[in-house]
Amino acid sequence: MHEPYEKRLNHRADFRVKYRFFSEEEGGRKSLPFQGYRSDFWCPLENQYPTSIYMIWPEFETGEGRLLMENNKPVFPTGTAKMWIIMPKTRGYLRDKICIGLKGYFMEGSRKVAECEVIEIIGLKTNPHESSPTN
């Protein structure tokens, strides 16, 4: 049984995305991941290094928008996921850059395995963050 990140991290998710995992023929995974999958996240932002990948983990939802609690079955190939910025300092940097409509990718190393689009901002602006010199 999956332990919700909200309970573990003691705050709400930062944002929600709709996603689609690439097929193996498209360069994606051979099999779908399970709940608890810890991919990285990349999105095109101004003034960032092309290789800037962020530790932002998805938490997958059911077709009805509820948290998927089973961690022993593959997630859906398409659907929605809450996104969790794991490093508070990164949240401080990204809070004014992530917006509805932003397109990004779930990453495994330098490989894009799923495409996604931000569909909702949840706690990005209010969740804890640490100041950084780039703010």
In a domain? residue 129: no
pLDDT of residue 89: 87
Residue 23 lies inside a defined structural domain of this protein: yes
- Tell me which residues of the chain have a pLDDT lower than 70: 47-51, 131-135
Q: What is the pTM of this model?
A: 0.90
Does residue 133 sit within a domain? no
Question: How many separate domains does the chain show?
Answer: 1
pLDDT score at 128:
84
- Decide if 10 is inside a domain: yes
Q: Report yes or no on 83 lying in a domain.
A: yes
CATH number of the domain that 26 lies in? 2.40.30.10
With respect to residue 130, please indicate whether it lies within any of the assigned structural domains: no
Asked if residues 84 and 14 have their Cβ atoms less than 8 Å apart, the reply is: yes
Confidence (pLDDT) at 49: 59
Contacts by residues 118-123 (CB-CB < 8 Å, ≥ 24 positions apart): 118/15, 118/16, 118/17, 118/83, 119/16, 119/17, 119/18, 119/80, 120/15, 120/16, 121/14, 121/15, 122/12, 122/13, 122/14, 122/15, 122/16, 122/82, 123/11, 123/12, 123/13, 123/14
